[in-house]
Structure 1
């Protein structure tokens, strides 16, 4: 605070000197004074998004208007960890991303406490995530009756130890097929394009885990590009997430999300309806253990609407894609 006051006094002195000596045009001096008058607006711990907050948590001042956005590059996690360490704020640090308030923790105990709190469930989500139905899935649904319902379904049905164990043959089958493809490519070409084999194997594993082995190859080929585009849209930086510019849609994210969301509802909805009609006996009595089977065989009081089922299946597919780095991070191979 003392340094801030000293800087303001020095700036005032320089401004007065400029005005009295006429060394710099007076319009520039007035512009400088205007910027100076606005300095308390953004020279605050955590950046200007925190200007009206009384939260006593340290944080970097950041850039005017931009806040800490310049640090959000490919190694943002390292930049933020370094900033937290320099401010002795590893437990909690606040900063601004444009007009968005952000709090992070670089301490495992504090992070665990945050993840277990209801405030974390109610955190705002990106526009692209909302447009792509993430609000209806367990990872992003606000805390409440619906969120508790999804959590119970996930724990007791979709991710029960028995179901995960029963999916082991599928994973083994995918791995065996990838090994065969690798051997065949080596015998015929003398070299192996690992990227394509890994992409295809990972996508097959994800789609069959979520939708089951009843999924036709044509449907899988249709879902693949949709999964890739959805992941790209979620990861894409969007100015509208941090500034009140939603009506402009600079990067076309909103338009692309609406278009993809409509396509997802049609394609995934068709898969759900076909499975409901043709595979009920096969799914229930045939021992299928995919996520779609889990949702279709829920008891009446636990059943989800078709729109919620589509959202849960779609977001789960994207989540598995990001966790396995399929189609995207494999590009570095």
Structure 2
């Protein structure tokens, strides 16, 4: 049985679970034959096929993904030792993609000698096709005449020894710039980050070799290659799904739009470079890659290869990527992305585990057998205990504790994907905060908070760790110290006088009626905070009040999308327009804070920091001075101002 058909019974099981939940049927009567069906499918799927190499037992849909760890070479070695053949072959199925593991030199020599054409092409990648003009280059094009002509053109005209030697002045100039940067950093007493300096050097050489540009062109090219590397490093998990599922996943995760935007930006950049190279070089003048390709197109000397604009752009892009990869220094972003992609298959595996858990719904609702976990109420698949929580949260938790909780005052709940510990006695709370404080020191992740607080880079939402401790120390010592708070006494006095005056006017206008103090006190607090944080008042305070109202409505309470699995949460945010609302709100904050920050920077330059400082003045001063090993970027300053407000 072809394992590509296995997702059909898996989908059938979801329907079975839905029937169980929608009717009064005893779940065990349905779950048992459903589980039996799954076992049969599992056995058929793992039945050895005579002409294929040996293979470990696989799971429906994910195949062998769950067997590959973060160190693939070790995982493959362990799998080969356990399941591989004496001939050095092992067959794995990674999602929908078949993979042949070759573990001996003899087997590898035989494959490359007798079966080279079968392994000459890369597996298709949607990202590569989108970003490299339909795979019109020697790295991603399928094996054939077009690939051979492209390779010949690159080797003979772009990467020949003579061409490489002609770029010696470019390498020498960039090496001199590298030494100068390192010297400046050392003379300033800073740690010399050789990784970054070497990456800048490599990027500078590549940009000059490829396009004859430097400076802003090199920086723009570096960003383009870093963005491309993020989407191409390792394997893309969406490429492991069946065709229809791949399309849905790309649509829901925003990958389609991201690829379209990136391809458009890259094309615009390369078009500008080609337009600047349109004029033919004078004889004897050094050519870069773009000059060479344009000359070959004009001469028709591309050995039968039609050099259209897209072909030239694809060759330039992939040739530069190859040169960048030959360097021993790679982008830290690409490295982090590669590590992340190696872990992403676990999410696919967990999805299959959830599917299997749903089949055993009738059995799952027993008490947790693990004696080390607190007692818990019966739960539902995916929802957990969400259905047990009513509009009055404190009453629901109290009733659940009375019914299911332990004498020690503990109760374990599963709210969607969030595991929650309910503590109902003072003794239990004291024990947790005394002996297990680190386990409960960080807030649960929230997509809304992460978006609106510039990546949770502040003392309220940052995860517990060194950065959080340094941010807290900086806030307590420099921003919220007794001396700093006392310095705002005139601000509080002025706003208190304005509050009294506003109350008097309201009382006179009410003619003996009630005066609504809630709104007046809120305006007073907002004005004090605005002046203390940014030095602004009036329209600034009113704009801040509006922004805080919008942000509070998005982050207050429990967000339903944060309780869903990661992919489902992203789909919900996209479908409900919540993601766009987050983007619009942070854009409004950015429009509000950026001019204020620019005004404060200009004031510091003009007046040398004289006079009383507000919060933003303090943070900008600390940014200039260096805040005890805490890197204060513009984004972090804005994040700290937002949370202090």
Instruction: Tell me what 1:126 maps to.
Output: 125
Q: 1:306 to 1:238 in 2, by over 3 A?
A: same
Measured on the aligned residues, the alpha-carbon RMSD in Å equals 2.7
Instruction: Tell me what 2:260 maps to.
Output: 258
Instruction: Tell me what 1:70 maps to.
Output: 66
Return the offset for 1:61.
2.3
Q: 1:177 to 1:216 in 2, by over 3 A?
A: closer
Instruction: Tell me what 2:94 maps to.
Output: 97
C-alpha distance in 2, partners of 1:66/1:281?
55
Which SS does the other structure have where 1:102 is aligned? Answer: strand
- Listed as ranges, the gaps of 5+ residues in structure 2 are 1-26, 337-645
- 8 Å CA contact 1:178, 1:197 repeated in 2: yes
List aligned pairs for 1:171-182, cutoff 5 A: 171-182=171-182
Return the offset for 1:183.
1.4
C-alpha distance in 2, partners of 1:98/1:308?
32
C-alpha distance in 2, partners of 1:66/1:200?
40
C-alpha distance in 2, partners of 1:62/1:106?
20
C-alpha distance in 2, partners of 1:41/1:152?
47
Instruction: Tell me what 1:15 maps to.
Output: none
Instruction: Tell me what 1:232 maps to.
Output: 230
1:317 aligns with 2:317: no
Deviates more, 1:58-67 or 1:168-177: 168-177
Return the offset for 1:156.
1.2
1:326 aligns with 2:348: no
Return the offset for 1:229.
0.6
TM-score (normalised: structure 2): 0.42
Q: 1:195 to 1:122 in 2, by over 3 A?
A: closer
List aligned pairs for 1:74-89, cutoff 5 A: 74-89=70-85
**How many residues were matched structurally?**
296
Q: 1:63 to 1:331 in 2, by over 3 A?
A: closer
- 8 Å CA contact 1:199, 1:330 repeated in 2: no
- 8 Å CA contact 2:207, 2:217 repeated in 1: no
C-alpha distance in 1, partners of 2:260/2:81?
40
Higher relative contact order (CA 8 A, sep 6+): 1
Instruction: Tell me what 2:308 maps to.
Output: 305
Could you give the per-residue CA deviations for residues 105-151 of structure 1, whole angstroms, max 9, x where no partner exists?
Answer: 23345445656722233443211111112611112212222112112
TM-score (normalised: structure 1): 0.78
Deviates more, 1:249-258 or 1:260-269: 249-258
- 8 Å CA contact 1:231, 1:322 repeated in 2: no
Instruction: Tell me what 2:38 maps to.
Output: 35
Return the offset for 1:153.
0.5
Which SS does the other structure have where 2:281 is aligned? Answer: helix
- 8 Å CA contact 1:62, 1:68 repeated in 2: yes
Could you give the per-residue CA deviations for residues 20-62 of structure 1, whole angstroms, max 9, x where no partner exists?
Answer: xxxx9333322221112212332235xxxxxxx6533122223
Instruction: Tell me what 1:286 maps to.
Output: 285
C-alpha distance in 2, partners of 1:80/1:158?
37
Larger radius of gyration: 2
- 8 Å CA contact 1:291, 1:313 repeated in 2: yes
